[in-house]
């Protein structure tokens, strides 16, 4: 799971990076409210409480939570 995520970045930042992979990046904000709500909905499906931990660094998640997040990011 550590290979599929950036441990120093937050859950939200990791999801944004995965979502925008292959796209163009500008200097603007990578996540807006609509995307945050979408990410929260995706995390709710895991039923692991990650939707309430969007601003937490991935390194502080449990191994199971990191693994679930990594699987969600590659889907």
CA angle 58, 62, 68 (to 5 degrees): 75
Confidence of residue 2 (pLDDT cuts 50, 70, 90): low
Q: Is 48 helix (H, G, I), strand (E, B) or coil?
A: coil
- Single pTM value for the model: 0.85
Count Cβ atoms below 10 Å from residue 34 Cβ, excluding itself: 8
Contact call for residues 61 and 11 (beta carbons, < 8 A): yes
Radius of gyration of the chain (CA): 12
Tens digit of each residue's pLDDT (9 = 90 or more) over 5-62: 899 999 999 998 888 777 666 655 667 889 899 999 999 999 999 999 999 999 999 9
Higher pLDDT among residues 4 and 34, named by residue: 34
Distance CA 72, CA 64 (A): 12
Do 65 and 11 touch, CB atoms closer than 8 A?
no
pLDDT for res 29 = 63
Check residue 9 and give its pLDDT.
92
């Amino acid at each position: 799971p550590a290979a599929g995520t950036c441990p120093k970045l937050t859950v939200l930042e990791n999801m944004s990076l995965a979502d925008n992979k292959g796209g163009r990046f500008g200097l603007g904000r990578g996540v807006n409210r609509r995307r945050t709500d979408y990410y929260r909905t995706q995390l709710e499906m895991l039923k692991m409480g990650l939707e309430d931990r969007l601003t937490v660094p991935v390194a502080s998640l449990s191994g199971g939570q990191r693994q679930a997040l990594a699987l969600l990011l590659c889907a």
